[in-house]
Amino acid sequence: MELGLGHFIGLASLLFGIGAVGFLVRRNLLIQLMSIELMLNAVNLTLIAINRWMPGNHAGQVFAFFNIAIAAAGAAVGLAIVISVFRLKKSVQSDSVDLLKH
């Protein structure tokens, strides 16, 4: 049995859906960051699958590489924000973050 483009797109959409539900349902900021990373990895899987479908064009791999770099930078900034919120509020729950309200 050969894996086709539909199998990869189906898996990527399942991963993206799990990430979206995890982000919307959970209130822990760390879980929300992991859900965002899961959604970005689903996008990377889609890009690589389309690149495998059209092997002459390497645009999918290039976009996936930049997406990985942006995800790493976003994770670093997000983790710094979570640490800052934890220092101020002693909690990583997104419901307790109301820093703009005074």
Residue 98 lies in a domain: no
Alpha-carbon 28 to chain mean position: 15
State the average pLDDT over residues 38-62. Answer: 90
Residue 97 inside a domain? The answer is: no
Asked if residue 100 is part of any domain, the answer here is: no
Residue at 54 is within a domain: yes
Dig out the tokens for 32 from the structure: 């929300």
Total domains in the chain come to 1
The residue type of 45 is: L
* pLDDT band (50, 70, 90) for residue 96: confident
CATH code at 18? Answer: 1.10.287.3510
- Measure CA 92 to chain center: 19
Q: CB pairs under 8 A, 24+ apart, for 44-48?
A: 44/68, 45/8, 45/11, 45/12, 45/15, 46/8, 46/9, 46/12, 48/8
Note the pLDDT tens digit of each residue in 66-79.
999 999 999 999 89
